[in-house]
Amino acid sequence: MKKIFLLIAVSLAVACEKEKEEIPKMETGGNPPMPEAWIDKDTGHKVVRLSNREGINRSFYFHNNPFFQSEDGTTKMVFYGSVGENNQLFTIDMETKEITQLTDDPEGMSGEIVGKKTGRVYYQRGDSVFATDVNSGRRDLVYVFPEGFNARISTINADEKLLAGAKSVPAKDSIYRANPEKSQYFNKIYDAKLPHALFTVNLETQELDTIHSDTAWINHIQFSPVDPDQLMFCHEGPWHKVDRIWNINVKTGEVQKMHERTMDMEIAGHEFWSRDGEVIWYDLQMPRGETFYLAGVNVKNGERYRYQMDRNDWSIHFNISPDQNLFAGDGGDPGQVAKAEDGQWIYLFTPKEDRLESEKLVNMAHHDYSLEPNVHFSPDGNWVIFRANFEGESQIYAVEVEKEK
């Protein structure tokens, strides 16, 4: 009997080693196309391509949740994929890697909103807002904006009763059309000081409510993942010119600035919520391009946190793990604000006292950072998901947090 168990153990060990041998160790993007899975030779971490379909595929912006977990434990990630000249919404089963097309809208759509409770994906076409069920594919028209209400939905609150977004004026769209590149429109829209407003849409009563108006460019609108009344937004524009991070209580209308500048050229931005809705985290530089921190402020008691990092570790976007013990970053090329000489990596960060200790997960030397990778942790915390073009076109990848042994 002992001999049988020994043979089984040896067979399993051999099978495991064979499986590992079948995953090649390679330079990421060094000789495209890449296989479906490989070990990054510079980091030792396993990387897999999630978007195994034809066309251009793009994961969500870093602070927009793309995941829905069903009661049976199935986890699906929503993403955009090209179909002809338009983008459509797709899901990928995170266990089986099966991809399903959710939408087939000939006019395309905008919006990156997944309801974590209901599994409804909200998007907008023209003045109409639709919701499509992740599992059944059923599509419902949920709201139509009044004529002339130039608005875009951005986020849904924790109890999934309110959508929120920003309203602007047609002059803003004219600036976009005449200046399609960010380097062209960014300062123009900021300098124009056009009227903007925050609004909510009650999905139960169909009530449209304008909750805040400003001549600042309102952007990056994010409901708290826990408190249905807390809505974060930013004043967009050159970061050294704006007081960027704000929070509003949608019931009371109380508006609060979340970061106060303390020196000339200090910048703060790319803000995102902690998983428990208690902290707003953001990129802080004191001053711009010199000293780098991941900073946070507790929305309940005002307590502040600050983790310093090296120049090369700075990332365009950061994100937080489901257990809130780790952060991830998408790095940056030398043309970014940090001017990092060796910053083109997907990073894992561990807070150690007042600093972030970094580990490199993926070498992004062959990635063109005109496409920002926008990292997300998988719901189980085992993978960091990002988009990249080191195979030519934008595709979606995941890197395993634990290093292959």
Which pLDDT score is estimated for 173? 85
Beta strands 37-40 and 25-26: pairing type? parallel
Contacts for 165 with CB less than 8 Å, ≥ 6 apart = 151, 152, 153, 154, 155, 198, 199, 221
Query: Are residues 305 and 320 in contact, defined by beta-carbon separation less than 8 angstroms?
Result: no
Three-point CA angle 355, 220, 123, nearest 5°: 130
Q: State the angle between helix axes of 170-178 and 182-192 in degrees (0 to 180), rounded to the nearest 10.
A: 150
| Residue 230 DSSP label | E
Measure the CA–CA gap between 146 and 128, rounded to whole angstroms: 10
Closest residue by Cα to residue 68 from 89, 48, 47, 92? 92
CA–CA separation, 77 vs 398, rounded Å?
A: 12
CB 349 within 8 A of CB 313: yes
Residues in CB range of 292: below 8 A, 6 or more apart: 283, 284, 285, 308, 309, 310, 311, 313, 314, 338
Burial of 157 (0-12, 13-18, 19+ CB in 10 A): buried
Please state, in angstroms and rounded to a whole number, the distance separating the CA atoms of residues 77 and 93. Answer: 7
Q: Which residue has the tokens 């496409």?
A: 371
Tokens representing 212 are 């805040």
User: CA–CA separation, 222 vs 61, rounded Å?
Assistant: 12
Report strand pairing: 395-400 vs 345-352.
unpaired
Cβ within 8 Å of residue 197, ≥6 positions away: 166, 167, 210, 211, 212, 213, 214, 218
Q: What are phi and psi of 67, to 5 degrees?
A: -105, 145
CA angle 106, 111, 115 (to 5 degrees): 115
Mean pLDDT by runs of 10 across the 405 residues of the chain is 42 44 92 96 98 96 97 95 93 97 88 95 95 95 95 97 94 88 89 93 98 95 98 96 97 96 97 98 98 97 97 98 98 97 98 97 98 98 98 97 85
Residue 38 has φ and ψ, to the nearest 5°, of -160, 165
Sheet holding 376-377, edge to edge: 25-26, 37-40, 46-49, 395-400, 383-388, 376-377
What does the alpha-carbon distance between residue 396 and residue 53 come to, in Å, rounded to a whole number?
10
Those residues with Cβ within 8 angstroms of residue 266's Cβ, 6 or more apart along the chain or in another chain: 240, 284, 285, 286, 287, 288
Q: How many CB atoms lie within 10 A of CB 86?
A: 14
Strands 110-114 and 120-125: antiparallel
* d(C-alpha 288, C-alpha 284), whole Å: 8
pLDDT of 9 reads 41
Two tokens, residue 390: 């080191």
Q: CA–CA separation, 232 vs 141, rounded Å?
A: 26
CA angle 320, 89, 386 (to 5 degrees): 30
Q: Which two tokens stand for residue 20?
A: 């590992």
The closest alpha carbon to 399, from 352, 365, 368, 359, belongs to 359
Q: State the number of CA atoms in the 13 A half-sphere of 99 facing the CB.
A: 15
What pLDDT, on the 0 to 100 scale, is given for residue 21?
60
pLDDT at 16: 44
Contact status, residue 302 vs residue 257, Cβ threshold 8 Å: no
